[in-house]
Amino acid sequence: MSVALGITRPPLVRTVPVHHPEDLIARLPQAPPYAWVHQGEGLVAWGEAARVAVPPGAGRFDWARRWLGTVFGEAHIDDDVHVPGSGPVAFGSFTFDPDAAGSVLVVPRVVLGRRNGRAWLTTVGEAPIDLMAPATPPGRVVYGDGTLTAPEWQHAVARAVKEIRSGRLEKVVLARDLVATAERDIDPRVLLDRLARAYPDCYTFSCAGLVGATPELLVRHTGESIESLVLAGTTYRGATPAGDRAQGAALFASPKDRHEHACAVASVREALTPLCATLSVPDEPELLVLPNVQHLASRVRGRLADGASVLDVVAAMHPTAAVGGTPTAVALEVIRELEGMDRGGYAGPVGWIDARGDGEWGIALRCAQIEGRRARLFAGCGIMGGSDPESELTEAQAKFRVMRQALEG
């Protein structure tokens, strides 16, 4: 099932220090890009030394870990840098729904990394010749409804509210999609560049056509330490600094949003407790202010008990109640019943893992699946018993703005 492209067996993986690239994304050649960039640091990559379609099912993360064990285990690694992200890495995108096809892992041929004042280049096998053709913007973009029209989605939200009030569940996250068609083929490098400039505090990512800038860090794994930024509860930016503060204060004081956030934090605590020797979860959220919205945010930190890799942690955490709901199993049923769409990689884990098991994975939000001239955009909202369908639709529009601006420039 894996495809190894033109590399000698066993492959030689070489990591060498390089001069600081000013802009990681600007170094991407004309090839499907892989990226994970936050505040100018991270990894960009291209080429495919190995690629696999991860079979759907409950054991998919285990399957992925075993595949990676074989691929990394076969490699001769010559790593002069020794930091998380040096040596061989795999990028991955997993579907939200464990039973949906579309999860993928790719070991790129070339990786350029930058972290804490150091930069490095990793090559797998012979370094390919890269074509540095400039990226062309997609031109005019028109939008159409995805699976549900706006009124149909509001109706789905109203039905979810009824289910919650009837006691079937406490919270569910409902999403919708929009279809964008551009004048020209969409070069993901244009979107990555615009996203990283506009949302430097988010994680700008690209993997197998899924491109976005997510504010939500599912897990960062460095040695035994893990960190997660849990988000749920949203309001808008004010027109003035005072208006901004008033919006933030109202979000902080809103029982509906605090409850929505508490569900997400509880799901993360529950998932991480069995894996961790120590775990610190803040008593109160903080505000994360982004250019389009403000979120309630909780930074969770822990120390792993026994050598779990970042994928083991991802497997335990996904789906958190920031994208599924409470209780998880019922929320997944309700999502299938009411959304009527396959989320694909949206709201699934996206990120990278190295041969030590370190890595960074986000929840794929504020993103689109790109194919030729078309992009399928996704946005969702946490629905509670007190949710108003019209306000939830407005919130989803604010979340769509991230990818709309990336497409339109």
Ligand X SMILES: C=C(O[C@H]1C=CC=C(C(=O)O)[C@@H]1O)C(=O)O
Q: Chain-centre distance of CA 39, in angstroms?
A: 16
Residue 270 annotated to the active site:
no
Each residue 53-92 as x (binds ligand X by CB under 6 A) or -, in order, gives ----------------------------------------
Block residue for tokens 């909202």: 381
Contact with ligand X (CB under 6 A) among 43, 366, 368, 370: 366
DSSP reduced 3-state for 287: strand
Q: Are the C-beta atoms of residues 250 and 233 closer than 8 Å to each other?
A: no
CB of 186 to ligand X, least distance (A): 20
- Residues 320-339 binding ligand X (CB under 6 A) are 322-323
Block residue for tokens 């027109």: 239
Cβ nearer to ligand X, comparing 89 with 164:
164
d(CA 87, CA 90): 10
Cβ nearer to ligand X, comparing 257 with 360:
257
Cβ nearer to ligand X, comparing 75 with 232:
232
Distances (CA, A) of 402 to 196, 197, 293, 380: 11, 12, 10, 13
Residue 171 annotated to the active site:
yes
* Amino acid at position 335, single letter: I
Cβ nearer to ligand X, comparing 108 with 362:
362
CB of 33 to ligand X, least distance (A): 22
Which backbone phi and psi does 357 adopt, to 5 degrees? Answer: 95, 0
Cβ nearer to ligand X, comparing 256 with 301:
256
**Count, residues near ligand X per rule CB under 6 A:** 17
Q: Are the C-beta atoms of residues 34 and 206 closer than 8 Å to each other?
A: yes
Give per-residue burial for 184-223: e unless 16+ CB within 10 Å, then b.
Answer: eebbbbbbbbbbbebbeebbbbbbbbbbbbbbbbbbbbee
Q: Is 377 in the site for ligand X (CB under 6 A)?
A: no
CB of 103 to ligand X, least distance (A): 19
Q: Are the C-beta atoms of residues 202 and 213 closer than 8 Å to each other?
A: yes
- Residues 137-196 binding ligand X (CB under 6 A) are 173, 175
CB of 379 to ligand X, least distance (A): 4
Q: Which residues bind ligand X (CB under 6 A)?
A: 173, 175, 216, 231-234, 295, 322-323, 365-366, 379-382, 399
